[in-house]
Amino acid sequence: MKTVLPEIPKIADPYMLSLVPSSRGYGSGFFIKESDGKIAEIVLDVVANAFALSVEELKGRPRRSNSARILARQIAVFLIWKTSGMSLPQMARVLGWKNHTSVMYARNKITALIDTSPMHAEAVARAEAEVRAALT
């Protein structure tokens, strides 16, 4: 007996199910939605411009310790987490990081900074407003 699979219905919104295979192809977050990838690109552009860095500098491994660059990377992670539906492993893949624990540390670090420093809270809020304006 031959099994017949049902046909997949067409979706009106092409970004809802436009899926791109992740770099690993297994585990949590097997696919990353194309719309989430675009949100990550927008966030990286906004944060890179705010800190006068390139997107490659945000995504790449640091050759030297630079506190402004590290803070920019952490803010980018926080904003991607807040504005997209991506899991931590998916965010790590998009950013080119080895695993999700670095993403989790960056997110938690900025969350704590927002709670304790009004200056950082204002900077993150401005960047988030810029990202949301770019998304609309």
Phi, psi of 70 (to 5 degrees): -65, -45
Q: Could you read off the pLDDT of 109-135 as tens digits, one per residue?
A: 999 999 999 999 998 999 999 988 888
On whether the CB atoms of residues 78 and 45 are closer than 8 A, the answer is no
On whether the CB atoms of residues 55 and 48 are closer than 8 A, the answer is yes
- Specify the DSSP element, H or E, that contains 101: helix 100-116
Cα dihedral across residues 18, 23, 84, 135: positive or negative: negative
Q: Could you read off the pLDDT of 29-49 as tens digits, one per residue?
A: 445 566 667 888 899 999 999
- Average predicted confidence (pLDDT) for the chain: 77
Domains in the chain, ordered, with CATH? 35-135 (1.10.1750.10)
